[in-house]
Amino acid sequence: MKNDYIRIMLVDDHQLVRESFKLLLENNPRFQVIADCDNGNAALEQFQSLNPDIMLVDINMSPVNGFELTRRIIETMPMAKIIGLSVHNQAKYATRMMELGPGDS
């Protein structure tokens, strides 16, 4: 049977941010948070086995930041859907995330 929900992976180094997104998203029956990772390395380890529909990724974290995580994911799965999150309001962050995509979305 086909899943009727969107499977989401949260990636942020702040626990409160992850918990807040999880509470918000899981209030909608269309969404299921399948993982919340506190760093890019953990997300890379879990991505292929979980194959989320969407990743919400903090851009500013270490040791693997959101740009690098996105680049690595797109290398192996070009059609992955990744949404970059940042507290910065500079357009260059959004532009850089868009440039990491496959270009035909």
List the CATH number of the domain containing 28. Answer: 3.40.50.2300
Q: Is residue 15 part of a domain?
A: yes
Count the helix, strand and coil residues of the chain and give each as a percent rounded to the nearest 5: 40, 20, 40
Q: Is residue 86 part of a domain?
A: yes
Per-residue pLDDT of the chain (105 residues; tens, 9 = 90+): 456 899 999 999 999 999 999 999 999 999 999 999 999 999 999 998 999 999 999 988 888 888 899 999 999 898 899 988 877 677 776 677 667 766 544
Q: Are the C-beta atoms of 65 and 59 separated by less than 8 Å?
A: yes
Q: Is residue 41 part of a domain?
A: yes
In this prediction the pTM is 0.83
Q: Which residue range(s) make up the domain with 67?
A: 6-99
Number of compact structural domains in the chain: 1
Q: Is residue 104 part of a domain?
A: no
Q: Is residue 1 part of a domain?
A: no
